[in-house]
């Protein structure tokens, strides 16, 4: 026994009686009783929890722990609780966290006050053979409430593993049980928060024989849930990913309505698609500006340090525009129009199937409807992509990007109908191709936006001249990147087309 062992206290546990019993059996040294305050963090989509990690702060120390072992993996001193990655002190902890939380904000999920009583058991030579920590956890915001968790930590001392094992057996005989639950999970349960409850991914399992209209409703219900979950996050501007997830859910819903055809009455489908178009349009401006601002550090890195201040007016302008656009979006999310859209979707999705005559494909098995659509979509993508290998055309590349996006959303929404490694690999290659096309399109749009910004610069002073020069350099660098992206397209398309040829469904 080398690791710390956590024991759950029996229901009839009384601390004074327990200590008195220990004193009768062992030479017990009580050290101190103190209070610790712990604050636990995670992102809105539970990125740390999904990696079996726990991030908490206590006494200006930030701790990264393993969820299953409560081992401290790293630590760092902080002056203020972190929100974004940039708030972390530079070092190994930031490096471990960076690829996990990326651009997401950390939310405070739980605050705990722990009463800790430290004790030591001594042998006949007055040497410490076992260390004990009796911990009683209470919600910080509910001091009058009973503790939500109490435990005893048995901390073996090197060289005295036999004594620790014997003491562990004695506790077990007294009705104590070894626990592997992190107090963080017990605290979340106490405040009725469910770790991992939110995900932007489609997590439904459809039966291939399910009616197409019912299957489409299952998917749309899941997407509506994502939209609702992220509404407050967008309003409060928690981080850019709330709006991103909001928009992806809308686009997926729009693709389901447009690609899984004739499963709902025509007038219903038209209204729902109109709703999607409205929701997408009202978020476009903020998302476009978010993309620019998210690339701020990368753009600045393209310049030598002495020149970097010359590009500052661009980002100051973008931030002002983003603030105005976000306020407009907030008003629309608080409007009756938005409330009516959600109510309309809720009402429709709660209705039972409308009958076979409502739409031509309504009662057909979903596997048939989706399979047919996937085959058509894949054939058109391969045909268009093959043509673009011979002659590059910006508009047609944009059309191919949209077609790939629609195919990917259909595959992701209905992936449970096509289980297996082949589908997973196909989606992976499709994502790489779509990312390539999307990056090329973004670079084109960004260049156009920079040209427009250049025309808006006031005056002809030295600062304006320096900024215009910096914009020219940036547009040149973006053009170089666009060329690199274009050169990668043939290989990515060939890999995707090869996977299409080997997939039995498409």
- Are 371 and 478 in a shared domain? yes
State the residue range of the domain holding 463. Answer: 212-501
- Are 86 and 146 in a shared domain? yes
User: Do the domain assignments include residue 113?
Assistant: yes
- Whether 1 has a pLDDT exceeding 60, the answer reads no
- Whether 289 has a pLDDT exceeding 60, the answer reads yes
Q: Are 252 and 240 in contact (CB under 8 A)?
A: no
Mean pLDDT over 206-229 rounds to 96
Q: What are phi and psi of 149, to 5 degrees?
A: -155, 140
Compute how many other C-beta atoms are within 10 angstroms of the C-beta atom of residue 410. Answer: 21
User: Do the domain assignments include residue 265?
Assistant: yes
- Are 178 and 272 in a shared domain? no
- Whether 442 has a pLDDT exceeding 70, the answer reads yes
- Are 328 and 228 in a shared domain? yes
CATH number, domain with residue 152? 2.40.320.10
Q: Are 163 and 174 in contact (CB under 8 A)?
A: no
User: Do the domain assignments include residue 200?
Assistant: no
Altogether, the residues listed in the chain come to a count of 506
In angstroms, the CA 214 to CA 54 distance is: 39
Q: Are 245 and 200 in contact (CB under 8 A)?
A: yes
Q: Are 31 and 204 in contact (CB under 8 A)?
A: no
Rounded CA Rg of the chain: 29
Question: 382 pLDDT band (50/70/90 cuts)?
Answer: very high
Compute how many other C-beta atoms are within 10 angstroms of the C-beta atom of residue 60. Answer: 11
User: Do the domain assignments include residue 203?
Assistant: no
- Are 245 and 185 in a shared domain? no
3-state secondary structure of 104: coil
Percent helix, strand, coil in the chain, to 5, is 60, 15, 25
Mean pLDDT over 38-63 rounds to 96
Domain count along the chain: 2
Which among 242, 277, 243 is positioned nearest to 257, based on CA atoms?
277
Q: How far is CA 226 from CA 285, 290, 317, 331, in A?
A: 21, 20, 31, 20
Q: How far is CA 385 from CA 121, 155, 310, 433, in A?
A: 74, 63, 40, 11
User: Do the domain assignments include residue 206?
Assistant: no
- Are 374 and 444 in a shared domain? yes
Summarised one tens digit per residue, pLDDT across range 114-127 is 999 999 999 988 89
CATH number, domain with residue 268? 1.40.20.10
Mean pLDDT over 331-342 rounds to 98
3-state secondary structure of 97: helix
Which among 151, 155, 145, 147 is positioned nearest to 181, based on CA atoms?
151
- Are 167 and 309 in a shared domain? no
> How high is the pLDDT of residue 35?
92
Which among 239, 253, 254 is positioned nearest to 286, based on CA atoms?
239
Q: What is the DSSP letter of 262?
A: T
pTM of the model: 0.90
Q: Are 154 and 132 in contact (CB under 8 A)?
A: yes
Of residues 1 and 86, more confidently modeled: 86
Chain position carrying tokens 């391969």: 382
> How high is the pLDDT of residue 355?
66
Mean pLDDT over 343-371 rounds to 88
- Are 121 and 230 in a shared domain? no
Mean pLDDT over 89-100 rounds to 96
Q: Are 430 and 408 in contact (CB under 8 A)?
A: yes
User: Do the domain assignments include residue 207?
Assistant: no
> How high is the pLDDT of residue 419?
86
- Are 376 and 409 in a shared domain? yes
User: Do the domain assignments include residue 417?
Assistant: yes
- Are 443 and 494 in a shared domain? yes
In angstroms, the CA 237 to CA 230 distance is: 10
Q: What are phi and psi of 27, to 5 degrees?
A: -85, 105
Q: Are 222 and 203 in contact (CB under 8 A)?
A: yes
Of residues 460 and 271, more confidently modeled: 271
Question: 43 pLDDT band (50/70/90 cuts)?
Answer: very high
> How high is the pLDDT of residue 174?
85
Summarised one tens digit per residue, pLDDT across range 388-433 is 888 877 888 899 999 999 999 999 999 999 988 888 899 999 999 9
Mean pLDDT over 44-51 rounds to 96
SS3 letters across 12-78? CCCHHHHHHHHHHHCEEEEEEEEEEEEEEEECCCCHHHHCCEEEEEECCEEEEEECCCCCEEEEEEC
- Are 367 and 477 in a shared domain? yes
Mean pLDDT over 469-480 rounds to 91
User: Do the domain assignments include residue 196?
Assistant: no
Q: What is the DSSP letter of 147?
A: P
In angstroms, the CA 91 to CA 98 distance is: 11
> How high is the pLDDT of residue 464?
85
3-state secondary structure of 133: strand
Q: What is the DSSP letter of 113?
A: E
- Are 317 and 182 in a shared domain? no
Which among 117, 115, 120, 116 is positioned nearest to 22, based on CA atoms?
120
Q: Are 241 and 215 in contact (CB under 8 A)?
A: no
In angstroms, the CA 474 to CA 380 distance is: 36
In angstroms, the CA 154 to CA 151 distance is: 10
Summarised one tens digit per residue, pLDDT across range 253-278 is 999 999 999 999 999 999 999 999 99
Chain position carrying tokens 């726990």: 54
Instruction: Give the highest mean pLDDT range of 172-186, 230-244, 384-398.
Output: 230-244
DSSP H helices, 302-420, are 312-333, 336-350, 366-390, 394-413
């Amino acid at each position: 026994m080398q690791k710390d062992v956590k024991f759950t206290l029996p229901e009839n546990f009384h601390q004074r009686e327990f200590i008195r019993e220990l004193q009768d059996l062992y030479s017990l040294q009580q050290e101190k009783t103190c209070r610790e305050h712990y604050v636990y963090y995670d992102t809105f989509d539970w990125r740390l929890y999904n990696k079996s990690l726990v991030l908490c702060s206590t006494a200006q120390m930030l701790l990264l722990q393993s969820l299953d072992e409560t081992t401290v993996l790293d630590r760092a001193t902080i002056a203020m609780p972190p929100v974004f990655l940039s708030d972390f002190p530079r070092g190994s902890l930031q490096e471990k966290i960076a690829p996990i939380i990326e651009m997401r904000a950390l939310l405070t999920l739980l605050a705990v006050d722990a009463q800790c009583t430290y004790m030591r058991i001594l042998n006949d030579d007055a040497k410490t053979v076992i260390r004990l920590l009796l911990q009683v956890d209470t919600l910080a915001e509910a001091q009058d409430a009973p503790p939500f968790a109490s435990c005893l930590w048995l901390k073996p001392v090197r060289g005295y593993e036999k004594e620790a094992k014997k003491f562990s057996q004695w506790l077990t005989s007294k009705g104590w049980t070894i626990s592997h639950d992190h107090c963080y999970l017990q605290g979340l349960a106490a405040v009725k928060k469910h770790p991992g409850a939110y995900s932007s991914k489609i997590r439904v399992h459809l039966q291939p024989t399910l009616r197409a209209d019912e299957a489409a409703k299952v998917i749309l219900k899941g997407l509506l849930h994502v939209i609702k979950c992220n509404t407050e996050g967008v309003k409060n501007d928690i981080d850019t990913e709330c709006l991103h997830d909001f928009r992806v859910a809308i686009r997926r819903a729009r693709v389901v309505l447009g690609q899984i055809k004739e499963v709902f009455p025509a007038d219903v489908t038209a209204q729902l698609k109109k709703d999607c178009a409205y929701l997408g349009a009202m978020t476009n401006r903020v998302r476009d500006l978010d993309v620019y601002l998210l690339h701020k550090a990368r753009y600045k890195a393209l310049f030598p340090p002495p020149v970097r201040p010359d590009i500052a007016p661009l980002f100051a302008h973008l931030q002002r525009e983003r603030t105005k656009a976000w306020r407009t979006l907030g008003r629309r999310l608080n409007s009756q129009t938005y409330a009516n859209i959600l109510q309309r979707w809720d009402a429709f999705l709660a209705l039972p199937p409308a009958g076979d005559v409502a739409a031509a494909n309504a009662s057909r098995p979903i596997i048939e409807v989706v399979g047919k659509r996937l085959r058509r979509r894949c054939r058109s993508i391969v045909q268009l992509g093959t043509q673009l290998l011979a002659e590059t055309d910006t508009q047609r590349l944009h059309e191919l990007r949209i077609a790939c996006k629609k195919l990917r959303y259909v595959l992701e929404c209905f992936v449970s109908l096509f289980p297996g490694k082949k589908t997973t690999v196909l989606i992976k290659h499709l994502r790489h191709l779509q990312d390539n096309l999307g990056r090329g399109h973004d670079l084109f749009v960004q260049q156009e936006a920079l040209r427009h910004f250049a025309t808006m610069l006031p005056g002809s002073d030295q600062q304006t001249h320096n900024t215009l020069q910096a914009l020219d350099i940036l547009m040149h660098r973006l053009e170089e990147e666009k060329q690199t992206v274009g050169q990668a397209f043939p290989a990515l398309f060939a890999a995707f087309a090869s996977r299409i040829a080997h997939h039995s469904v498409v």
